[in-house]
Structures are given as C-alpha cells and as structure tokens.
Amino acid sequence: MRNYLFGLIFLAGSLIMHNTNALGFGVASVNKGKSYLQESMVKVQLPAEGKLNIVKLIKVGDAIAAVSTDKIFYFEKSKWRMESIPGRWKTAGLDKSGKLWLGGMGKVLRVADMKELSLPAEEEKDTILSLLWINDKAMLVGTGRGVWQWNGTWQKMPDFGSFSVRQLIQGKGDELWAATNGGLFRKIAGGWVNLTYAVMSPGLGLNYFSLSAGLSSDAVYFGCQPAVGLISDKGDHQLFSGDDGLPVGPVTTIVPSGDNLWLGTPEGAICKLKGSWRYYAGKRWLDDNQVNDILVLEANRVWVATPAGINELRKTPLTLEQKAAYFEKRLNERHLHYGFASECRFKKLSDTTSFTHSSNDNDGLWTSIYLAAECFRYAVTGEKDAYDNAVRSFLAMEKLETVTPIGGFVARSYVSIDESTGEGGEWHVSADGKWKWKGDTSSDEIVGHMFAYPLFYDLVAKGEMKERVKGLVDRLMTHIVDHNFLLIDLDGIPTRWGVWTPDSLNSSKGWMYEKGINSLQILAFLKSASHVTQNPKYDKAYNFLVREHHYLDNMLVQKMFGPYEVNHSDDELSFLPYYTLLRYGKESPDKEVYSKSLERSWKAEEADRIPIWNYIASIGLGKGCGLEVAEEEMQQIPLDIRNWPMYNSQRWDIRKSAINDRFFKQQATKPIPTPERSISKWNSNTYQMDGGGDGLSEDDGAYFLLPYWMAKYHKLLD
C-alpha cells in the first residue's frame, strides 16, 4: 500500500500565484503545508485462499504468527510461509522459553514438536479459550467450564466452578487474573478472589471478557459488558463506558501501546488516544467487524485479526497537497464519463481496475465542482494539466446546452444514442441522432453552471475559449431572464425546480420553502452574468428583483432551520451562490445585506463541520470561520471513498436526537466523525447514523478538491 499510495502522489514544483485573494479579504492562513497522519487500511494478503479465520496474532521470536483454526501463517523477513495444523484452534500463547502453544477443543499443542496434551476425558469436548504458562513447568487453561492446571498432570481449579474463563494473564510477580462470565478473579498470596463480589461496582455486572497487563507492572486493564477499565495498585484507577466515549462493547481484546489503547469488540476495533476515540468498523476499515485479536507492529501500524483475515490499519505522513494529488490522479484514471466528473461502479468488490459509468441527474452540477477546483488549481500552480482538465470539463458542460434544441437550456446529462439510460427521466434524442439528453433540469444544475463558468472565464479561459464561455453564460441567462426567470423545457413549461420568478417565490404558498434560497440564487446568477458578459440587461434584471420584489429581504432568511424542514442538499445550493454573489457583488451597495444573509446561514451551518462552508464563510465575511475545523475535516476525509455501508446507530457514545431527519431516519445530536460515516458530498446529513451502499460505487473525489484549491487560492491554506 505504501508504494501504491506514494506512486499516486506527486509534488508540485514552485507555485505560480495568480491573484490569490480575488475578493480582497485578508484571512489568516492556518496551514503551512505541514504533514499530518492519514489513516488508511490495507488487507494483509495471506498465502491461502478462502475465508481465513485468524484467531490470534502473536510474536514468536523474529516472526509474527497468525493462527487460524487449522493453520499458522508465519511472517518473517517480509515473507509469508504457511503450516497446516489440522484442528479447531481457538487461541494461542507462548511458554516461558518462547515456544508457541495452540489451544482448541479438548487439547493444547506445542507447535515446535507437535506435542499434544489432551484434557481429561470428561472435558474432551470443551473448548480451550485461553492458556497461560505461569512458570516453566505449570500452565493454566481456561475453558468454557472452568480452569485446569497442568504441571505434569491435569488438575481442576475449584475456585471457578463451571464459569467460562475467557482470558488469563499474569500480573506483577506471581499475581494472576482471570476474566470469566461469573466475575473478575485475582489470585494473590492468599488464593483466588472474585473481585466482583468483594470490591467491584455492581453496575459492571458479572460478565468479564478480556484482560491485559498495563504499561506499568502494578496495573491491569479489564473489559466487561458495559465498560473497559484499569485497576492500579497506586489507586489511579480508570473506567470508560459509553458516557466517556467508548463506542461499542463488550471489549474482548485489550492492547496498550504507548499513549494509545487498542480495543477489539464483536462490532469493530477502537483506539483510545489522548483525549479522543476512533472507531473502526465497516469494510472501509475491516473485512469483518468481529475482532479476534490485535497486534501493534509499530506506533502507526496495527494488525487486526478477524474471521475474514487480517487488516492493517496504518497512519502515513501526508500533506493536503499530496492528498489532492492522489484524488486528482484517481479521478482522471477512473472517473471520467464523456468528460463529466462521475462516480464509477466496480464490477467486483475485489477489483478496482474494472468499472462502468452511467449518467447522473446532476452530471452538470458535479462536473462544475471539479471544473471550479481545476480553475482554482490552475490559478495557484499554472500547471498545464490543470488547464487541460478545466477545458475538458468546460467542453463537457458546454455540450449540455448545445445538445438540446433550445438556446440557453442545459440538459441534466447526455449519453450516446446506444447507451442505456436506465429507468425514468425525460430523455430526448439530439438533432444529429448521436446523443440522448435528459430534460427537466433542476436549479441544482444552474447553480453549478453559474458558479463554475465565471471562474473559468476569470482564471482559465483565453482567446476564443473566453468568447465561448461568455456566449454560453449569455445564452443561459437570457433564456432565464426572457422567460420571466423560469427555466423552460422542451414542452414549453418550466422544469420542476427551475423557478426564480416573483410570481412563485413571493406569491405562491407552494414555494414558501424555496423563497429565500431561490432569491439568493438568481441574484448571484445575475451578478456573475453581468461580470462575464458586460450586458446591462442583467443589472437591470437584478435591480428589478431587488427594488420591486424585495429579493434582498427574501435572501436574508434563506436558510431554513429550527421548526422548519432542514434540507442539507440546499446548503450546497446556497453557499455556492454566496461565493458567486460576494465575488462579483463586492462593489455593490447591497453587499451589507449579502454579508448579513451569509452570517446567518453560517451560524446555522457551523456545527455541521463541512469544510467548504467554513472556507466560503471565511472568504465572504472576511474573517476566520472555523478554519482549524475545516483543516481537521480535510485531513479526516478517507482515501477510500467507496460507498461502503457504515453503521453507527448501535453505538454507546453517540447521543441520538429526539427528532428524526427529513427522511424520518435516526440522526445524532452531533455530526458523526467523518472517517466513521458513509461517504457523501456536502449535500447530505452529517448527523445521519447509518448510510452507504454496497461498496461497489466510488465517489469522484471532487468534493475534496474544490475546498482544497479554493482555500489555497484565497490563502487560507498557504
């Protein structure tokens, strides 16, 4: 993975800066190109096929032994070798001489010479769950029905009765500990004591699953049904439950490592860092959520054993610039469909080299996001491929207008005449018979077009290309203005959402929700069209809407929240126009109203932790609006942006909101951490508990590229 990752990363040379603060706001930068630790997962490829249930990871001399139910895989000197050992092995451990022993159904096995020790006949069908050599002659084994000791012969330990003994460890000196379904046991000089009845909080229950020696000799970690804790002879005990940030449980594996505490559960892996927690679950991080064991290889590399094999969780030094290069390269390799920036769909989960594309309702909007990113990138770096990518994207979007027979009317998407369009949608054949284009175009599309085209005009287009974008903007906005601020489709009536007319926004109860946001949009369109075309008709139309129909008053309260429906998709359809309006209306006498509207919307959005809103608010308001949060979120966006299903509704640490979202789905009171929720652009609910798909689709990544290059252009990232 390391070679793969950095093979995709290239570093730009000296940066060529172009008018890097076009709006004239001097907002302080918070990033100096420093590196951070990027999390990623790579599947450890074992030398065998099929589902490999790895039950234990253990260091044996200079090798790592990965023990499965019937094999041992040894990793040494960067190579794997496999040894078949038939059985139903459940656990493993080392004796005092460092030799590996396996425990399974009714027996233990010393691997070096294949010496077996079978439990007494009455226990031959019992499974050994844990084994511990307490000295060079004596071994304890915990089973589903108690503890046996071997010191030449087997002896049943009466203290445990028929409890299931899940883990045995040795503390300082001769001190022993046992985690059972009947309590937490500790053996000190006077014998075994069930601490559950002696000193433990009754609220912890009887069910104990795991143990681990602490980093100091006088401390022991334990995992029980509702919590994980630390018992210290010095008295500085610790206890962590869902109230303290523990995501799920019970904790069945505990591995302290430096400042981190790694935990395994039946529902994923957990890392407790200083002051924070990370939860790794779902196929973005693990092939199976059942964690059997964890082995820390080094500070930033951890192996997690599951019934499906081994996953390596790693943290690699990376800069945001390198991350942008990674997404850029991947987008150009597998996310282009007729020049559109498009998600791709893999044919198999295990193969990312074979994929397909299909049309999307918002091909124009999503491609405009990438086009704008490349415009900013070209302005910052002057790199030829940024210019080429921007031109390619513009040409794809330009065709959305020329493929239709209506001047200024843009299609949602188009495909070749012989390509399937799936089910639904208003599809038409182009005049030349070579294409099918999709009508009923949404306001979403116009937001994208009118956000990206002025940037392309300002920062990229030259000569004849500049005239082409100017003409396109003029045709598009002439169509809207001349049709009373409506987007008129092939059937001669407005599209479902292409409505900005005062007759609807100010007079129809059916447009109460869109009154503010659509007023904002059309004012932004008109300001940018006036800038690009220098046609006075757009200033006249702007003044008509503002002076006679109160569109400034409308946009002051554009963000709906509180008792009203909260549509996160509309946030995208407002913040992009905010950027456009403030960029091209910075000399307007109405600028104070723009800022008031943006300030109100930003306050409503601040908690959502969506970096591009932070950047647009910072640029538009001329002050830092959560720049540190934006940087952190940019770092936390995963490299793996497939639509894996991600579930969080089972978590203990997340407070559920009493009010469901607009789709009646459960949501949290705070945003789900970015690495732990499903992938979306910025038009989805960051509070949604569960989401995602089948893992076969991958986002194009432009939702990272635009905020990154916008922030670079405006010197928010230096």
Quickly count: other Cβ atoms within 10 Å of residue 455's Cβ.
28
pLDDT band at 631 (very low <50, low <70, confident <90, very high): very high
Single-letter code of the amino acid located at 95:
D
pLDDT digits (tens, 9 = 90+) for 383-411: 999 999 999 999 999 999 999 999 999 99
pLDDT digits (tens, 9 = 90+) for 437-482: 999 999 999 999 999 999 999 999 999 999 999 999 999 999 999 9
Cis geometry, peptide bond prior to residue 250 (ω within 30 degrees of 0)? yes
Q: How far apart are CA 252 and CA 208, in angstroms?
A: 9
Q: How far apart are CA 350 and CA 533, in angstroms?
A: 50
Q: Which two tokens stand for residue 655?
A: 């407070």
Location of structure tokens 């937001």: 447
Position 50 scores a pLDDT of 78
Q: What is the mean pLDDT of residues 20-31?
A: 40
Closest CA to 67 of 56, 77, 59, 76: 56
Q: How far apart are CA 560 and CA 653, in angstroms?
A: 29
Position 218 scores a pLDDT of 86
Q: Which two tokens stand for residue 523?
A: 């004012």
* 697 within 8 A of 708, measured Cβ to Cβ: no
Position 49 scores a pLDDT of 82
What integer best gives the mean pLDDT of the chain? 93
Position 569 scores a pLDDT of 92
Is the confidence at residue 379, as pLDDT, over 70? yes
Position 423 scores a pLDDT of 87
Is the confidence at residue 2, as pLDDT, over 50? no
Chain mean position to CA 197: 44
Single-letter code of the amino acid located at 718:
D
Is the confidence at residue 275, as pLDDT, over 90? no
What domains are there in the chain, each with its CATH number? 2-35+320-642+696-713 (1.50.10), 49-248 (2.130.10.10), 655-695 (no CATH)
Position 18 scores a pLDDT of 32
pLDDT digits (tens, 9 = 90+) for 149-176: 999 999 999 999 999 999 999 988 889 9
pLDDT band at 113 (very low <50, low <70, confident <90, very high): very high
Quickly count: other Cβ atoms within 10 Å of residue 157's Cβ.
18
Is the confidence at residue 8, as pLDDT, over 70? no
* 430 within 8 A of 414, measured Cβ to Cβ: yes
The whole model's pTM is what? 0.93
Q: How far apart are CA 99 and CA 486, in angstroms?
A: 79
Location of structure tokens 């493993």: 92
Location of structure tokens 């030259």: 462
Position 12 scores a pLDDT of 32
Is the confidence at residue 544, as pLDDT, over 50? yes
Position 20 scores a pLDDT of 31
Residues of the chain with pLDDT > 70, as a percent, come to: 95
Give start and end residues of each alpha helix (H) in 403-501: 443-459, 463-482
Q: What is the mean pLDDT of residues 264-281?
A: 96
Position 643 scores a pLDDT of 97
Q: How far apart are CA 180 and CA 146, in angstroms?
A: 9
Q: How far apart are CA 105 and CA 168, in angstroms?
A: 17
Q: What are phi and psi of 288, to 5 degrees?
A: -150, 135
Q: How far apart are CA 516 and CA 541, in angstroms?
A: 17
